[in-house]
């Protein structure tokens, strides 16, 4: 035997009250008076009709009977059929993709869905809700929450994340949450095909709230620019998704958000138009913006970073082959050249060599592995990282080092072996490894290629761009060191957020151009809308699947029980009063 | 024994002796008494002179006047007659409250003593299940006997209503009828009773005996009220509203009683037992000229 609802044990108080009540029942003090002539008349006033009198005399009996009947009624667990949400478990799946920002009348689809959710939250009838947002990955916002205030707060805080909704992943995720319980899944999206929903319908009811409107949309599909001898050349691809031809203006802005070009374009209905702009002034990034009358604004602007010369890696032939192999696996453009050619290499390319003099001569960033001017000495001791910035991904403390070259002057020690420096960084930013590969087993450790990658990133970190990201994308980037932490701003110098280091870089969710404030030049990066998010599709609202019968009945007995309990308590009080006034009438 | 036979403190008897019952009623007894009568008689009280007419008693001629005027005058004196006083004591159980019963008996004795002291005819009766012959005596010598009878009255045992049986025990041709009762019976019963009293007495006095508890009951909480007379019990939860309606009902009853007494020419005096016999006798009764 078990109890389903031990929490109702508190109702033990009720019989206790009755018992106490009988203990302390009214005691009449006997008092003899000469005549009850007047008293009788006072009492007569309350004994008007015979029915009332009967009720009065038997009030206790009736009240107790009524209380017992109510008890029985509570035990029967009455419920009313209301238009409440059915299912044992309720899951609200909220699409937070960019297309949810398409306008419907005065509000966006997203806002409309939010209001719908708020309305639904009032009909929950004490059931738990799980809210899942769908973006690049499904995310649980609320799990099995019953508190209406908390549900409403969570709904209010929902925001569009701009990333494309990943339905297959979400469906798998949902299946794992649903389990075997009967579940009502509400999908708040703009458009989803019934075939995108799982086949399994046992105990699951899918309720899809789509947007049935065909939206007006003009979309800036692609935008790119290259630096040429005559200036910047930009190409834009604009798609008119409307069945009507339309005119629009394309404006181009530079990195400082100054308008540098403008063009009026006639767009044919359901047609893609290509626009080419030449001889633009040199800048770090370009932003194209369309001024068109449509209902979806997120796809009307795009930013692009100007392709700068990518830094190439040149590896000295005299170095161990493993090094050049490793660099080639990191960057296919890495090439091996002879030591003599190294000096003629253009700036910004990374040189990997053992020529110590290059440290002072070359302007290129240098990764020095071994020294050609000194002899290596035997070393004994454990490898110890002093400055971990190059080793955030893999520690090298487990490698063995046999010999080590003497240290270079004016350089910061990053790693030591015993007391001797092993890896250093010069004031110019060059990285010096004071050993040859033959002197260590490092090449056998996974930390070796990771170190090379880190070194390469470190040496190229002085670029002016970070690249292009998806909304809210997490990617490890290498950022210049900054004592104050790293802040992200829009080109209008609006503060967005701060991050600790390149390892925890998360792109902002709103598409557009951003920059990371550094001590020197700003580092630009672009958050671009995914291509799928640039097309609005017409959706439908439909329901699909069915809950097993016993669960389709909405048991909304919570209010009932509360009311009944309150009634019983009120009854007890009334009984008390009746007892107090009339006593036992038998 | 001595204590049981006396109700009034002995030192009072001299004080009581100074007072007598006052009445303007013309109905008198046929026997000689100490009260002046409207009729002419043989008392020492001089009334007037009247010329002699043939047929008058020659013994009544005032010879002194004849000597001076040579005319026959008859000197007339007022007659002195007794009063017939009846005291009717309510002995139903409603009177059996200790204070009430005691003071009621004391009042009876005091009034009776006054009457006997004046050489008037006193009769005393109460409603009883047994047929007790009423007390009828005249003369101061019966004071002790009367006091003893009253003192030996048992605690009231009569269950019925006083008004139902009262008429049966009242003799006729009374000068004064004193009714001592608490008046706690329905007004209709009082009406039937009081309606008949003027037939038997010229001067009727209703002494209503009350207690403070009846005037303003001081019960609190839940009380089971037990009617002494009917043994009926009634559960009452005291509250201000209950108290108020009690007061209203009581006042209505009182005013009805007063109206009834006015209608039948009965003097009505409600007294509070808790005021004490002394206050009632020598203040209230005196003030109303019931005694003098």
* Nearest CA-CA partner of A284 in A250, A260, A264, A300: A260
Instruction: Read off the DSSP letter of residue B216.
Output: S
Instruction: State whether A55 and A146 are in the same domain.
Output: no
Instruction: State whether A11 and A129 are in the same domain.
Output: no
* Nearest CA-CA partner of B238 in A43, A368, A372: A43
How far is C-alpha A298 from the chain's CA centre? Answer: 19
Beta bridge partners of B180: B89, B207
pLDDT interval class at A22 (50, 70, 90):
low
Q: Is the pLDDT of residue B255 over 90?
A: yes
Task: Report the gap between the CA of A33 and the closest CA in chain B (Å).
Answer: 5
Instruction: State whether A547 and A565 are in the same domain.
Output: no
* Structural domains of chain A, count: 4
Task: Report the gap between the CA of A40 and the closest CA in chain B (Å).
Answer: 7
pLDDT-above-70 percentage for chain A: 84
For residue A535, give Cα distances in angstroms to A214, A296, B50. 11, 10, 149
Q: Is the pLDDT of residue A275 over 90?
A: no
Of the three residues A424, A444, A460, the one that is the final residue of a domain is A460
Residue A346 confidence (pLDDT): 67
Strand ranges (E), A254-346: 259-267, 271-280, 285-291, 301-305, 313-316, 335-337
Please count the helices (runs of H) and the strands (runs of E) in chain A: 12, 31
Instruction: State whether B282 and B143 are in the same domain.
Output: yes
Tell me the residue length of chain A: 586
Cβ–Cβ below 8 Å for B234 and A27: no
Instruction: State whether A435 and A471 are in the same domain.
Output: no
Establish if B120 belongs to a structural domain.
yes
Instruction: State whether B62 and B107 are in the same domain.
Output: no
Least confident of A255-264, A425-434, A475-484: A475-484
Q: Is the pLDDT of residue B292 over 80?
A: no
Rounded Cα distance between A58 and A564, Å, is 23
pLDDT interval class at A550 (50, 70, 90):
very low
Helices (H), B139-217: 143-151, 162-165, 187-200, 212-215
Average pLDDT score over residue span A163-181: 82
Instruction: State whether A433 and A327 are in the same domain.
Output: yes
Task: Report the gap between the CA of B280 and the closest CA in chain A (Å).
Answer: 21
Of the three residues A412, A430, A460, the one that is the final residue of a domain is A460
Instruction: State whether B93 and B197 are in the same domain.
Output: yes
For A61-102, the DSSP string reads HHHHHHHHHHHHHHHT---B--S---SSEEEEEEE-BGGGG-
Neighbouring C-beta atoms of residue A173, cutoff 10 Å = 18
Which residue of A lies nearest to B218 if distances are taken between CA atoms? A31
Residue A80 confidence (pLDDT): 63
Q: For tokens 């309510």, name the residue.
A: B90
Average pLDDT score over residue span A137-159: 86
Instruction: State whether A70 and A171 are in the same domain.
Output: no
Residue B168 confidence (pLDDT): 82
Which residue of A lies nearest to B251 if distances are taken between CA atoms? A38
Neighbouring C-beta atoms of residue A561, cutoff 10 Å = 15
Establish if B10 belongs to a structural domain.
yes
Q: Is the pLDDT of residue A227 over 80?
A: no
Establish if A299 belongs to a structural domain.
no
**Residues near A521 by Cβ (< 8 Å), separated by ≥ 6?**
A464
Instruction: State whether B110 and B203 are in the same domain.
Output: yes
Cβ–Cβ below 8 Å for B229 and A35: yes
Establish if A297 belongs to a structural domain.
no
Residue A586 confidence (pLDDT): 42
Q: Is the pLDDT of residue A334 over 90?
A: no
Q: Which run of H or E residues covers position A223?
A: strand A218-228
The CATH number of whichever domain residue A378 belongs to comes to: 3.40.50.880
Instruction: State whether A24 and A118 are in the same domain.
Output: no
pLDDT-above-90 percentage for chain A: 0
Give B256's contacts in chain A (Cβ within 8 Å).
none
Give A45's contacts in chain B (Cβ within 8 Å).
245
Cβ–Cβ below 8 Å for A32 and B228: yes
Average pLDDT score over residue span A306-335: 78
Instruction: State whether B41 and B94 are in the same domain.
Output: no
- The pair of structure tokens assigned to A183 is 């579940």
Residue A345 confidence (pLDDT): 74
Give A59's contacts in chain B (Cβ within 8 Å).
none
Instruction: State whether A405 and A342 are in the same domain.
Output: yes
Instruction: State whether B208 and B129 are in the same domain.
Output: yes
**For chain A, how long is the longest CA-to-CA vector?**
137
Give B228's contacts in chain A (Cβ within 8 Å).
32-35
pLDDT interval class at B214 (50, 70, 90):
confident
Instruction: State whether B13 and B133 are in the same domain.
Output: yes
What's A226-264 look like in SS3?
EEECCEEEEEEEEEECCCCCEEEEEEEECCCCCEEEEEE
Question: Which of A26, A35, A42 comes nearest B242 by C-beta?
Answer: A42
Q: Which of A10-14, A434-438, B12-16, B217-221 has the highest mean pLDDT?
A: A434-438
Q: Is the pLDDT of residue B259 over 90?
A: yes
How far is C-alpha A33 from the chain's CA centre? Answer: 84
Establish if B184 belongs to a structural domain.
yes
- pLDDT tens digits for B52-94? 888 888 888 889 989 999 888 888 877 777 788 899 988 888 8
* Structural domains of chain B, count: 2
Q: Which run of H or E residues covers position A571?
A: helix A558-582
Average pLDDT score over residue span A289-295: 81
For residue A492, the enclosing domain spans 467-527
- pLDDT tens digits for B99-146? 888 888 888 888 888 888 888 888 888 887 777 778 888 888 888 888
Residue A291 near residue A249, CB atoms below 8 Å: yes
Q: Is the pLDDT of residue A178 over 70?
A: yes
- pLDDT tens digits for A443-474? 888 888 888 888 887 777 555 677 788 888 88
Q: Is the pLDDT of residue A212 over 50?
A: yes
Tell which of B217, B242, B249, B255 to mutate to test the A interface (max A CBs under 10 Å): B249
Establish if B227 belongs to a structural domain.
no
Helices (H), A436-557: 447-460, 549-552
Question: Which of B94, B234, B237 comes nearest A40 by C-beta?
Answer: B234
Cβ–Cβ below 8 Å for B97 and A34: yes
Cβ–Cβ below 8 Å for B242 and A580: no
Establish if A511 belongs to a structural domain.
yes
* Nearest CA-CA partner of A306 in A224, A222, A220, A221: A224
Instruction: State whether B102 and B164 are in the same domain.
Output: yes
HSE-up of B146 (CA within 13 Å, CB side)? 30
Cβ–Cβ below 8 Å for A39 and B235: no
Give A34's contacts in chain B (Cβ within 8 Å).
94-95, 97, 100, 182, 184, 211, 214, 228-229
Cβ–Cβ below 8 Å for A34 and B211: yes
Residue B2 confidence (pLDDT): 43
Cβ–Cβ below 8 Å for B223 and A29: yes
What's B34-94 look like in SS3?
EEEEEEEEEEEEEEEEEECCCCCCHHHECHHHHHHHCCCEEEEEEEEECCEEEEEECCEHH
Instruction: Read off the DSSP letter of residue A362.
Output: -
Give B246's contacts in chain A (Cβ within 8 Å).
38-39, 42
Cβ–Cβ below 8 Å for B224 and A37: no
Residue A56 confidence (pLDDT): 66
Average pLDDT score over residue span A41-65: 69
pLDDT interval class at A17 (50, 70, 90):
confident
Q: Which run of H or E residues covers position A431?
A: strand A431-433
- Asked whether the ipTM of the predicted complex exceeds the cut of 0.90, the reply is no
Q: Which of B46-55, B189-198, B221-230 has the highest mean pLDDT?
A: B189-198
Of the three residues A460, A478, A505, the one that is the final residue of a domain is A460
The CATH number of whichever domain residue B114 belongs to comes to: 3.40.50
Instruction: State whether A357 and A375 are in the same domain.
Output: yes
Which residue of A lies nearest to B93 if distances are taken between CA atoms? A34
Task: Report the gap between the CA of A51 and the closest CA in chain B (Å).
Answer: 20
Give B219's contacts in chain A (Cβ within 8 Å).
29, 31
pLDDT interval class at A315 (50, 70, 90):
confident
For residue B174, the enclosing domain spans 2-19+82-212+273-287
CB pairs under 8 A between A and B: 84
Rounded Cα distance between A209 and A540, Å, is 7
Average pLDDT score over residue span A252-262: 85
């Amino acid at each position: 035997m078990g109890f389903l609802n031990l929490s109702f044990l508190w109702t033990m108080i009720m019989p206790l009250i009755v018992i106490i009540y009988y203990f302390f029942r009214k005691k009449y003090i006997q008092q003899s008076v000469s005549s009850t002539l007047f008293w009788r008349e006072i009492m007569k006033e309350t004994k008007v009709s015979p029915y009332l009198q009967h009720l009065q005399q038997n009030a206790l009996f009736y009240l107790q009977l009524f209380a017992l009947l109510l008890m029985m009624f509570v035990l029967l667990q009455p419920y009313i059929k209301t238009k409440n949400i059915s299912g044992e478990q309720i899951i609200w799946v909220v699409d937070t993709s960019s297309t949810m920002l398409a306008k419907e009348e005065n509000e966006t689809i997203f806002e409309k869905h939010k209001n719908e959710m708020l309305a639904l939250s009032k009909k929950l009838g004490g059931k738990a809700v799980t809210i899942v947002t769908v973006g690049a990955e499904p995310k649980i916002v609320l799990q099995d929450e019953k508190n209406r205030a908390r549900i409403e707060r969570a709904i209010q805080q929902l925001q569009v994340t701009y990333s494309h909704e990943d339905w297959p992943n979400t469906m798998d995720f949902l299946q794992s949450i649903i389990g075997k319980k009967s579940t009502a899944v509400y999908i708040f999206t703009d458009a989803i095909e019934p075939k995108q929903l799982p086949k399994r319908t046992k105990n699951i009811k899918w309720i899809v709230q789509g947007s049935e409107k065909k939206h007006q949309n003009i979309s800036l599909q692609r935008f790119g620019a290259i630096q040429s001898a005559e200036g910047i050349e930009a190409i834009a691809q604009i798609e008119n998704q409307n069945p009507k031809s339309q005119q629009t203006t394309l404006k181009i802005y530079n990195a400082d958000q100054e308008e540098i070009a403008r063009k009026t374009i006639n767009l044919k209905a359901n047609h893609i138009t290509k626009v080419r702009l030449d001889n633009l002034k040199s800048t770090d990034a370009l932003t194209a913006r369309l001024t068109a009358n449509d209902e979806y604004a997120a796809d009307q602007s795009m930013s692009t970073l100007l392709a700068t010369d990518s830094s190439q890696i040149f590896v000295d032939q005299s170095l161990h082959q493993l090094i050049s192999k490793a660099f080639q696996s990191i960057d296919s453009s890495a090439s091996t050249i002879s030591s003599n050619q190294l000096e003629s290499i253009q700036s910004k390319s990374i040189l990997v060599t053992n020529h110590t003099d290059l440290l002072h001569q070359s302007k290129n960033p240098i990764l020095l592995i071994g020294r050609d001017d000194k002899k290596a000495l035997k070393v004994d001791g454990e490898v110890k990282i002093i400055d971990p910035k190059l080793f955030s991904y893999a520690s090298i403390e487990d490698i063995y080092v046999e010999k080590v070259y003497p240290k270079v002057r004016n350089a910061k020690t990053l790693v030591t072996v015993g007391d001797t420096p092993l890896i250093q960084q010069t004031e110019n930013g060059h990285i010096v490894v004071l050993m040859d590969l033959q002197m260590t087993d490092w090449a056998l450790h996974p930390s070796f290629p990771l170190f090379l990658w880190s070194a390469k990133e470190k040496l190229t970190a002085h670029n002016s761009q970070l690249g292009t990201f998806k909304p809210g994308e997490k990617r490890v980037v290498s950022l210049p060191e900054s004592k104050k932490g790293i802040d992200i701003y829009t080109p209008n110098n609006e503060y967005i957020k701060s991050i600790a280091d390149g390892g925890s870089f998360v792109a902002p969710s709103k598409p557009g151009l951003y920059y990371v404030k550094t001590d020197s030049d700003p580092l630009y990066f672009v958050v671009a809308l995914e291509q799928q998010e640039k097309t609005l599709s017409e959706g439908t609202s439909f329901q699909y699947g069915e809950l097993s019968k016993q669960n389709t009945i909405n048991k909304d007995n919570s209010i009932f029980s509360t009311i009944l309990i309150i009634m019983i308590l009120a009854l007890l009080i009334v009984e008390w009063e009746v007892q107090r006034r009339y006593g036992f009438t038998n | 024994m001595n204590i049981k036979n006396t109700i009034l403190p002995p030192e009072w008897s001299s004080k009581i002796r100074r007072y007598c019952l006052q009445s303007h009623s013309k109905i008198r007894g046929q026997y000689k008494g100490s009260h002046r009568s409207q009729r002419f008689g043989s008392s020492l009280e001089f009334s007037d002179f009247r010329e002699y007419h043939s047929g008058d008693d020659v013994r009544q001629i005032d010879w002194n006047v004849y000597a001076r005027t040579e005319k026959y005058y008859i000197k007339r004196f007022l007659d002195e007659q007794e009063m017939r006083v009846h005291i009717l004591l309510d002995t139903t159980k409603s009177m059996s409250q200790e204070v009430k019963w005691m003071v009621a008996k004391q009042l009876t004795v005091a009034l009776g003593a006054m009457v006997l002291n004046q050489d008037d005819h006193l009769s005393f009766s109460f409603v009883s299940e047994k047929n007790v012959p009423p007390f009828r005596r005249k003369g101061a010598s019966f004071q002790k006997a009367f006091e003893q009878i009253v003192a030996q009255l048992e605690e009231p045992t009569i269950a019925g209503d006083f008004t139902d049986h009262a008429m049966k025990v009242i003799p006729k041709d009374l000068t004064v009828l004193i009714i001592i009762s608490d008046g706690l019976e329905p007004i209709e019963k009082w009406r039937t009773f009081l309606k008949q009293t003027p037939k038997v007495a010229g001067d009727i006095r209703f002494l209503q005996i009350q207690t403070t508890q009846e005037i303003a009951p001081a019960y609190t909480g839940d009380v089971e009220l037990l009617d002494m007379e009917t043994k009926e019990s009634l559960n009452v939860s005291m509250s201000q509203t209950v108290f108020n309606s009690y007061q209203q009902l009581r006042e209505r009853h009182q005013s009805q009683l007063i109206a009834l007494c006015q209608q039948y020419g009965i003097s009505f005096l409600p007294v509070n037992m808790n005021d004490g016999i002394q206050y009632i006798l020598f203040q209230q009764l005196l003030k109303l000229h019931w005694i003098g």
